[in-house]
Structure 1
Amino acid sequence: MSADALALAEHWLERGRPDRALDELSRLTGEGAVSRHAFRVRALAHHLADDDQAAVDIARSGLAAHGPDAGLLGVLAQSLADLGRTAEAEHACLSGLTLEPQNAWLLCTYARLCAFAGQHDKARQLVDRAAAHDPGSRPVAHTRVVLAIARGDHAEAERLTAALLAADPDDVGAHALRGLAASHRGDPGAAYAGFRAAAAGNPQNRHMVDAARELRAANHWLLRPLRPFQRFSVFQIWITVVLIQFGLRAVGLGAVALPLALAWLAFCAYSWIAPPIVRRLMRKGLL
């Protein structure tokens, strides 16, 4: 029974359904419930369900019960990274790689940490090393997308996510990465489509659900005038407005500059007031 439940739990994790995996894990009893394998699967299920603190606690309990384990250290590293505890995550990664230097998931986790720290060459070397030992690994494919997004290579990120979804249209992680890549290149429509599909596949993941909800609101026609704020930073927009104002005054068009300044202030007020109102009305089903 324990072996069957664990096998089913792993199957549901591969399909991006940690909620179903946790249902299967709840059937475990006795020795099977506290085995090394059970701790690994349970920690990973909580991590994929966006309950990273629980994943950290379970992984540490498993390490205390069974000693050093690369699988548990991998889940611990990724969960700590998602909680923003980067130094602890790096320590867990390096501890795991000491045990299994060619562990693809640990190498990919460490590559993502390096990419977010701006160490793009090191990140690429780590994921290439992971691919050399496990070329068909889904974490390797997903991590290549993350690295492309981190270095701002939008075309490569789009190409890689399209290839992932062509190979497996039900890949929840690929849908989320498609949404993330589109968000970074300033395409809210594609970003919403990606996160909506990811949230539908893994409704327990709060980040995916929240992102889909926010992007649904951002794509409403009442908020479409605010799309420049999604594509460019507030600083870039303000600098552009200031330069236009100075340019108009420099060429003797001060009379035009004043109404444009007032229109800009009205637009700013709209950008502060409209989004929370639209979100509230959408939650109530009025939009």
Structure 2
Amino acid sequence: MNVDNPSSLIALARQQMLQGNLDGAIHSLTGALSLDVQNVTAHALLALCLVERRRLAAAEHEARAALALGPQSAFAHLALGKVHVARRRLREAEASFREAAAIDPDSDMPFNALGELYLHERRMREARECIDAAIERDPDDTSNHALLALWHLSQNDLARAESLAREVLGRSPDDHGALNVLGWTELRSGRIDSAYEHAVWAVRNAPDDKNALELLCAVKARRSLLLGLWFRFNAFIAGGSGTRTIALLIGMYLGVRLLSLMLADFGYEAAAQIVSYAWIAFCVYSWVAPTLFQRMLRKELEQVRLRPDF
């Protein structure tokens, strides 16, 4: 490959990104920019790599550089949107993705990004519309179908999510999104050993992918006596829409209060106190367990950084 040609270095970087070799991609893109500092694509791709490396200040600098050089570049707007997502500026991210879609309405990438964003916000109808739009524009891109599998998983349709994930992996065995979805469907279905195998496979293919590490930690939490109950409850309570989740939580609280009042009215003061204390203990447990899970996730992240050949 001609290392004096920016286009060749950008092509190499794209291949390295697909292989999960972010350090190699950053090196290639830095070399491309040393030869052509005004290359919009190189700046935007470098921004995406830096987002994955969580170097968000540098990522935003590169994304804004790409946008300054190419204000009508859909890819530059897309890269800036990804930076906004990483910095949790979700309204700005939505605006950037919408602008990218307006500039290049035939590209599937802005609609894929919007679908992923709306899934995160549990705006399920809008997410499905954008995912369908992405698939319509590029039915051969497995990431679009993996995102559709994730949508079905979010709807607690495990059978459909698993079927779509397996279809994607049949075409692209290393697709990170499909591996994660398949792992989660296995875990929610109680197939713990199989879920663990998929989690390890996902982490080995993408050691820096937080979603893959979260899946691995979820499998460990499911096996844990302390976190297992919380995981089952969280999986049940989070399945479906946000409205359903709120309704279940309110219903649980009202049910506990009603039971406590009824026991007190019938003269079972001690039992009423036990119910109240049990509810308080449950609330404390539900607050502590996510902290323990996040601590487990951070520990896994540190181990992966210490084991670059994982």
TM-score, normalised relative to structure 1: 0.74
Equivalent residue for 1:75, pick from 67, 74, 79: 79
Alignment of structure 1 residues 109-124 onto 2, 5 Å: 109-115=113-119, 120-124=124-128
Give per-residue Cα distances to partners, 1:21-67, cap 9 Å, x unaligned: 22433444632454223123212222333445533321210121244
Q: Distance in 1 between matches of 2:258 and 2:195?
A: 31
Deviates more, 1:112-121 or 1:136-145: 112-121
Is 1:156 the equivalent of 2:160? yes
Give per-residue Cα distances to partners, 1:96-152, cap 9 Å, x unaligned: 223211111012223344555665444434333332331111332233234334555
RCO higher in structure (CA 8 A, sep ≥6) = 1
- What runs of 5+ residues in structure 1 fail to find an aligned partner? none
Distance change >3 Å, CA 39–CA 237, structure 1 → 2? same
CA displacement at 1:276 relative to structure 2: 6.0
2:242 — aligned with what? Answer: none
Distance change >3 Å, CA 111–CA 277, structure 1 → 2? closer
Q: Residues 217 and 275 of structure 1 are in contact (CA less than 8 Å); yes or no, is this contact kept in structure 2?
A: no
* AA of the residue aligned to 1:107: F
2:10 — aligned with what? Answer: 6
1:15 — aligned with what? Answer: 19
Is 1:45 the equivalent of 2:60? no
1:86 — aligned with what? Answer: 90
- What runs of 5+ residues in structure 2 fail to find an aligned partner? 238-244, 301-310
Deviates more, 1:38-47 or 1:169-178: 169-178
- Identity percentage over the alignment? 24
TM-score, normalised relative to structure 2: 0.69
1:24 — aligned with what? Answer: 28
1:134 — aligned with what? Answer: 138
Q: Residues 188 and 215 of structure 1 are in contact (CA less than 8 Å); yes or no, is this contact kept in structure 2?
A: no
Is 1:97 the equivalent of 2:101? yes
SS of aligned partner of 1:135: coil
Instruction: Tell me the C-alpha RMSD between the 2 structures.
Output: 4.0
